[in-house]
Structure 1
């Protein structure tokens, strides 16, 4: 049986950055429409079963009702039945269940934060990441039908995933010799003392920015590094910069519609296996992919390093090309 999993985060794209910038809102109705199109694209190409994370908006059940009523539902859909806390723990639990069900591909709808949560639990299952969040760097804008078709190619298990997916880099943060957390794109050391609303946006509070990748065509903290050094997903290194008012300034797109002059030092590269040790001189937080996650106190030490221990990230176009070249879409007479 060919199966896929869908993680649709109803909270993505609704953080405080929507109030302090000019970002587009992708509401839950549109997320529901995307999930519907994913399923229609997938089932037409051999997917027999779809597992969906439960959510307060009931996207999974609404899709079942709509497609059954229209007579278009051909595959089996199962919405996981577990107690929802309406937080990141739901994503963790859903991904763990999808691992146990041995789905062939997981599709996430969310931003960098959602995909970071998926990445912490996904193991070896290939991931297709659709952007529905704020300041996204990791996920892509993908039409749902096309994502479903690519997921069907991946879930068929007919092709070597090295032909259409790559292991992503992550930033690993260690404390007391234990892995504390990870980030997919950027880790930011801030003088903000509390996690609070989680989303981070005040550049004047920032001390250092670590990145796994960077480009000025992105929006957010990774673009600060990208203004001076472009680092691709394929490069076997990351980098960090220090924010300094006296350093040479560059214009950076920090949020939708907001471009700021920011002073930074020259990027210093962090190759795989190299460690950067940070000891705090005051209270603060570490933000991971745009959200404050780790609170620290004075004289605490953290280790930052870059590795390629992230998810198998599917290139949707390459997956479909692999299928096309190998006759996956041919209809036998």
Structure 2
């Protein structure tokens, strides 16, 4: 399989040298990626938003639980953390997308009143939605498919902590891929519907909309930022590396990572380059096992691909690469580097 990867992979990488050539490649590549993700099978519908609960937290942040319809009869619950307004201007907002082992929105939104979630927050520093809200940003923390309240039947029946914290990506992939869909495609579609909701609600600054995610949330941040220009800035933590080392050699990763035929066309750096010229910060941990056997080299090779796209716009300051010590973990310091405190 390694030999076949070397022979057939990345056939649609950018080979031009001008911004005009890159813009044309971007449009073609986005359509290819949407086809690979299975977007032609995704069905639009009214969002039909419903506010299920409003809680005023001790720190002055309002926590709303909202449910929207992302496809007909397919619903996405979320926590929206709304800090007190500091001015008459519209508040800036972020989608804070969840990764694995954190019960979806619960960890990201800082639900440390739940013991199992509290442990994951302490272990991974997982509450980046709450961290953003404390900095003055509206943080929208959804359950992506297979996580939290959107787990499939296989884990919804379980009342144990493991069933609550983990996802059903494996089951979703086995159902979706024979139909031409993918877990990554469904999650990216749902993130685009979440952006539709932000625009439809109209309360927050869509001209500065950001997306952030750690681990599997970083995967979702990569995809939605690459495919949707409504994302104006993004922070990817614990998820940007070469496919050969990180998903072929390390072939036991979650099913949501694997998109049929993807590697024939692109490496991860090619996808991330579609974010240019918008602000991009990438956070890596030096000893993150998901980087693969070559460690940070597998990350920097992909970032070199991304930098070439940014250089066509004269944006050599991006992507920002924030390197931290230790294994797979989110570090709040990237917010200090990438964002102004409001």
Which entry has the higher C-alpha Rg, 1 or 2?
1
Q: Same fold, TM exceeding 0.5?
A: no
Structure-1-length-normalised TM-score: 0.28
- Greater fraction of residues in strand: 1
- Greater fraction of residues in helix: 2
